[in-house]
Amino acid sequence: MKNLSLLGGLLIAGFDTEGKPGVTWRARRAAERASERVSDTVSAITPGHHDGGTTWKERAHAAQEYGATAIGRAKPAVVGAVETARPTLSDAVERAKPAVADAAEKVKPVVDDAVDRARPVLADAADAAAGFAEKAGDRLHALRDQASAAVAEGKRARIA
């Protein structure tokens, strides 16, 4: 009896939410609110919205003003950072030049080989594409002729 009593107390304590809704209800409600917010946002930015797009225009204008303010505040810091970094970047470029030149020399034969291997494949692809384009052109002409015949037949039917 003692063990069953302890188990019952544990179950009550485990599921007691102290008057608050359960985790499942709270999660479902949070998902519904998020869905509503997304729907509201999408409808506000969708062209043809019921208010003529004024909400979207207002938000865009506010974002533009906020962006301009942020740029104004950030500009001095960016200029200072560029001036501070310029000597370090110049030094890094000078140090990297030999490594880049060496890498370019090592990669050149590989690239040349890839180009040589790709040429026949690309030529075959171009030939196949030309054939497809020719077939598509023939089909379009046939469809045009069918459409013209259908229009002419429709005119004859209306006249008769």
Helix, strand, coil: what percent of the chain each, to 5? 90, 0, 10
The pTM score is 0.30
Is the per-residue pLDDT at 143 higher than 70? yes
Q: Residue 160 — pLDDT band, cuts 50, 70, 90?
A: low
Q: What is the pLDDT of residues 117-134, one digit of tens each?
A: 888 888 888 888 888 888
Q: What is the pLDDT of residues 18-60, one digit of tens each?
A: 666 666 677 778 888 888 877 777 766 665 555 555 666 676 6
Sign of CA pseudo-dihedral 107, 110, 115, 116: positive
pLDDT, position 76? 78
Query: Are the C-beta atoms of 43 and 49 separated by less than 8 Å?
Result: yes
pLDDT, position 149? 82
Q: What is the pLDDT of residues 92-110, one digit of tens each?
A: 788 888 888 888 888 888 8
Other C-beta atoms closer than 10 Å to the C-beta of 127 total 10
128 burial (CB, 10 Å; 0-12 / 13-18 / 19+) is exposed
Q: In sequence order, what are the residues at sequence separation of 6 or more whose Cβ sits closer than 8 angstroms to the Cβ of residue 56? A: 44, 45, 49
